[in-house]
Amino acid sequence: MEQQAILVSHGAPSDPQTQERAIQALAVRVRFWAPDWQVSGTTLAAKGELEATLTSLPDAVIYPFFMAEGYFTRIALPKRLKALGRNHAFQHKAFGHAPELPSLMVKTALRAAETAGYAPKDTQLLLAAHGSQVTRASYEQTEAVAAKLRALTPFKSVVTGYIEEEPKLSQSAKNLGQALCLPFFALRASHVLKDVPEALCEAGFEGALLPAIGEVADVARLIAQTLKKSPIA
């Protein structure tokens, strides 16, 4: 019997279908690495989609495709599940907490440095993250990952910068010289498409901007490996 899983992301209330398609596409890639699983994807923002997906996969485990454990993973999503009678569903920790993620980020950054012709020992790695004026969850998880990267990478330094709190990305990105910017985001939405590039431009950042870590191809395999460790698997 196939196991079931649902990937859930925040989505974009202003453009729900674009992010709905993105998380569904990720689910297809996860299925490649977990052929014995039925995997679907949905967002909290697309009206009725979470409910429809839960109806089609009534025994699914939940995988929150978020960068930190915060309001949406601890309150909003469980509340929606409870309202649908699915409060018993097993929920994994958010993607940003995956133990394998720092190693994947190192691999991604080193590959980008090689492509750019940058020697890692002479290159600074800048993590661009969301941050929040309300909760410390995004900041704390980003800083925890940054600390792990400092221990794992041969880069000159690992610096963090945020869209919505201090230290602002537009400040952290100044005077870095040879550098790579790796967005600590799950999907390519407005922050990745607009806010991060604008902050880098304001800072006069001259390095290379990488895709969001959630867009990296190996993420699908990481998620599949996590799903296979589910209690019901």
pLDDT attached to residue 7 = 98
Angle at the Cα of 98 from the Cα atoms of 161 and 137, rounded to 5 degrees: 45
- The domains of the chain, with CATH numbers, are 3-95+217-227 (3.40.50.1400), 101-215 (3.40.50.1400)
pTM of the model: 0.93
> Residue 231 pLDDT more than 70?
yes
- Three-state SS string over the chain comes to CCEEEEEEECCCCCCHHHHHHHHHHHHHHHHHHCCCEEEEEEECCCCCHHHHHHHHCCCCEEEECCCCCCHHHHHHHHHHHHHCCCCCCCECCCHHHCCCHHHHHHHHHHHHHHHHCCCHHHCEEEEEECCCCCCCHHHHHHHHHHHHHHHHCCCCEEEEEECCCCCEHHHHCCCCCCEEEEECCCCCCHHHHHHHHHHHHHHCCCCEECCCHHHCCCHHHHHHHHHCCCCCC
CA distances from 148 to 49, 97, 100, 145, 162 (A): 36, 12, 11, 5, 18
pLDDT tens readout for residues 116-132? 999 999 999 999 999 88
pLDDT attached to residue 217 = 95
Cis peptide before 102 (omega within 30 of 0): no
pLDDT attached to residue 1 = 65
pLDDT tens readout for residues 17-68? 889 999 999 999 999 999 999 999 999 988 889 999 999 999 999 999 999 9
CA distance 22 to 49: 14
CA distance 87 to 30: 24
> Residue 136 pLDDT more than 90?
no
> Residue 233 pLDDT more than 60?
no
Q: What is the band of 211 on the pLDDT scale with cuts at 50, 70, 90?
A: very high
**Residue 51 near residue 84, CB atoms below 8 Å:** yes
Mean pLDDT over residues 212-223, rounded? 97
- Six token digits for residue 190: 């407005």
pLDDT tens readout for residues 60-100? 999 999 999 988 999 999 999 999 888 789 999 999 999 99
